[in-house]
Structure 1
């Protein structure tokens, strides 16, 4: 039957060339807001199950990058935020002290992630300054979406963010690798009394970055650098980073962008990132401009976004927005009343990438759209993802002749309308060619145990380890850190200092 099908349909050849320039891939991730502010209220067992779905690379998504939202906190009496969108700030008033008991639910999820004992990259980001630093007196935005941080409060905002970062390090054992002061700053839709925190920041991002960088330095937060600017449009990101001077760029180690809009600027973003020698993240995405349809439709659409973002923007990490959400935005559908979750079609689509393409992988060249090839040193696997969004089957011949040796078969997995990352019969490899049928409307993952060319082996041996664990564990739920004479875990419980 396979021979018959292949003989009557045209074949597309995919050439995978590991000898061309490659780049390191740090992994997959997501933001914790707003879902963690809700799920963190659940029982520890129930939210621990959610964290397993997010972090386990065998049965879950295997995500290893998490973005913690430093809430600004809105003015008392304001009641316009969406459910769980009212992230508390740590300094509710200008004259008052910091409240380190704030935001307990999001911190419950942080603690649960830490307790799993897996290497994690942490980023802290802000959607808005505290309300009392804003022009409008509202953490949702300003009239007409105008810039909302008071011009005389740049230093205060930097001090607030870095004080939170320092407290997490010194008291809760979490070192944020990057700190992002902006979120879609040029979008123009952060308006007063909106339903979520947001802050326009079109003007003087350059100045804010320099003030924030100096604040990090002055507090000895040398392990934390700045990421910027999480624009909603890739085109805006290209324009915006061009306005940063050399000093601002020296504080900025990473360029973040959301791939919702401006997709025609992917290649330009990659070029700018290379010119400025910055690590590139696609730090938030989702079906904002999706034309509509069902769960399978949005899964196919998002798979195309992932492949194009990674191949065309040449990003080092790919992050989702709200993995837990209803409708088509989430990969996991939560029931907040019953404290239960159900993975949906998007979950299995994402897992078709993230379970197999692991941190430290190298993106290698594959010369066809809708395909991606990745060498994973930690497993010795070549991972191929082939997307077929069409309504008819497509035949592919994958040329593996540039590898030193290949096995007799490849392992195959498929997500389709009626399949959720289901393992398929092994596919034969003949004459160093893998011949496959990508069924109509399907996402296909092929895993091949190959012997890498010498160029990959040399690069692997000489590559610095960018996947550092950003915490150390002693007991489940307890964070070990060598700071101060007393400590508390992320749930606020006193713990002893353990020194090594």
Structure 2
């Protein structure tokens, strides 16, 4: 019996030594930060108010609305040192086309995807419309959100060719040519009206959302646009903004896929938008107009699988942008999980870490390979059984339950700590692993974000941090319930940290020198 016990103890010892040896040889990752090499300036991280806020903001109980707003916008710290929200720094406001007033005659089947319009049929405006959305934009402002973008899916139904908020032909703008000026003036009036109602000035307006899609009946508001149509209408918007002294900048492109920004792809008169609008030799050049934002925007849909596609499309986008104008910024302005592939499917809610890590991989690629200066999620609040929400709610207009997702907290690893105007800085991994690493710096802080895709823990050794910067804290999100941006005190004594399997860890270094 003693002999058997001795053998078991010996076997256990051998396994422990082997495990420690394996950790020592394969699971220690040295990360070298180089603040001297800088990349893009980060402007903001955001999400959109489509479409649920129209009901949540208007009808739901005050305590529920406040709790949801806190999760999205708050920068406060809980008693355990962890953030109580993800501190978004941008908010996208859907300027509706009026399908909600049409009701079932709009032919948009889902009531939650119809939108009210500030414009009345007689040409007057009603600033009591879109009350739910106005509640949330005011809440965002109160929490300190800095950047506001108004985006349009369809022109007002009073100006469209078919009197609907969707396209009949799927190839050209659903806007009568005689109403180009009317549409431009509508945008000016909305920007002025929202400011009068809320005190908020839109920094940008996006009049042409995803112009490459057909937007035919009957899922939601939308309109296709050719590049030539965008060129003509942008001139009208510019003239209206000048006349009305509108400071908001026009965001020309909201490409449905990022490859439409740098290639014609399958939409020859709707693609290659960087070259068409920002190449000085192009017939569609608009970069000289003071009202046009010096940036291009695109959506990361359908370019995230496999890893070669994820990286190569973003490298190509960045190369094209630098070729045309290195000072032209790129903003990634809409993403949720739409793509079905071997790793993930869009259908079905996933509040856990698997979908969240997929999203983290996309965020990392957009920031590191395409040099995105902004990153925006699609539905901040979703009632759907789909991977499209940061916060999920019951599909009940009057109220109900809501749940945060790990996707919310994954975005928070970036939005809560990477402040506007930080610069992305260089990071070097000594060994190539499934750990995604990026770093960001200001004169006050360095933020290091690490994503561990692997099923094994990693020991991280950080070097290159300037001596005046000291590790203040690390915040982790794992697959465990309630471990969401949880502050880790035990790992903050030195710059060596444990990165758990299938997790994110963000470390904040503070400059001790004034």
TM-score range, shorter chain: 0.7 to 0.9
Alignment partners' CA distance in 2, 1:414 and 1:91? 46
Residue 240 (1) aligns with residue 273 (2): yes
* Alignment check: 8 A CA contact 1:141 1:199 kept: yes
Deviations 1:308-365 (A, max 9, x none): 1111121222111112114422121213454442212212222222222222322111
Deviations 1:465-489 (A, max 9, x none): xxxxxxxxxxxxxxxxxxxxxxxxx
Shift of 1:248: 5.1
What TM-score, normalized by structure 1, do the two folds share?
Answer: 0.81
Residue 87 (1) aligns with residue 115 (2): yes
Residue 317 (1) aligns with residue 374 (2): yes
Q: Which residue of 2 aligns with 1:105?
A: 132
The DSSP-based 3-state class of the residue aligned with 1:331 is: strand
Over 3 Å counting, the alpha-carbon distance change for 1:436 and 1:5 in structure 2 is farther
Q: Which residue of 2 aligns with 1:21?
A: 38
Give the count of matched residue pairs: 441
Over 3 Å counting, the alpha-carbon distance change for 1:420 and 1:267 in structure 2 is same
Written as runs of structure 1 = structure 2, the 5 A alignment for 1:246-285 is 246-247=285-286, 249-250=288-289, 251-253=291-293, 254-262=295-303, 263=310, 264-274=312-322, 275-276=324-325, 277-285=327-335
Shift of 1:27: 2.1
Select the residue among 81, 85, 88 that pairs with 1:60. Answer: 85
Q: Which residue of 2 aligns with 1:422?
A: 486
Q: Which residue of 1 aligns with 2:336?
A: 286
Shift of 1:305: 0.7
* Alignment check: 8 A CA contact 2:474 2:492 kept: no
Over 3 Å counting, the alpha-carbon distance change for 1:11 and 1:45 in structure 2 is closer
Q: Which residue of 1 aligns with 2:437?
A: 371
Deviations 1:22-64 (A, max 9, x none): 4321221111111211211223333122212111123101012
The DSSP-based 3-state class of the residue aligned with 2:175 is: coil
Q: What's the C-alpha RMSD, in Å, of the aligned pairs? A: 2.6
Written as runs of structure 1 = structure 2, the 5 A alignment for 1:66-215 is 66-74=91-99, 76=102, 77-93=105-121, 95-116=122-143, 118-144=144-170, 146-188=172-214, 190-191=215-216, 193-204=217-228, 205-215=230-240
Gaps of 5+ in 1: 458-500
* Alignment check: 8 A CA contact 2:107 2:218 kept: no
* Alignment check: 8 A CA contact 1:136 1:142 kept: yes
Q: Which residue of 2 aligns with 1:444?
A: 505
Moved more, 58-67 or 141-150: 141-150
Alignment partners' CA distance in 1, 2:25 and 2:330? 43
Over 3 Å counting, the alpha-carbon distance change for 1:203 and 1:228 in structure 2 is closer
Alignment partners' CA distance in 2, 1:101 and 1:448? 46
* Bigger CA radius of gyration: 2
Over 3 Å counting, the alpha-carbon distance change for 1:373 and 1:255 in structure 2 is same
* Alignment check: 8 A CA contact 1:39 1:47 kept: yes
* Alignment check: 8 A CA contact 2:48 2:92 kept: yes
* Alignment check: 8 A CA contact 2:52 2:112 kept: yes
What TM-score, normalized by structure 2, do the two folds share?
Answer: 0.79
Alignment partners' CA distance in 1, 2:109 and 2:205? 24
The DSSP-based 3-state class of the residue aligned with 2:36 is: coil
Over 3 Å counting, the alpha-carbon distance change for 1:203 and 1:133 in structure 2 is farther
* Alignment check: 8 A CA contact 2:254 2:297 kept: yes
* Alignment check: 8 A CA contact 1:400 1:406 kept: no
Deviations 1:146-181 (A, max 9, x none): 432223322221111111112223454221111111
Over 3 Å counting, the alpha-carbon distance change for 1:383 and 1:114 in structure 2 is closer
Over 3 Å counting, the alpha-carbon distance change for 1:60 and 1:426 in structure 2 is same
Q: Which residue of 2 aligns with 1:34?
A: 51
Per residue, is there more strand in 1 or in 2?
Answer: 1
Shift of 1:440: 2.3
Alignment partners' CA distance in 2, 1:311 and 1:143? 38
Shift of 1:17: 0.7
* Alignment check: 8 A CA contact 1:187 1:231 kept: no
Q: Which residue of 2 aligns with 1:463?
A: none
* Alignment check: 8 A CA contact 1:280 1:317 kept: yes
Written as runs of structure 1 = structure 2, the 5 A alignment for 1:44-55 is 44-55=62-73
Shift of 1:278: 2.9
Shift of 1:18: 0.5
Shift of 1:406: 4.7
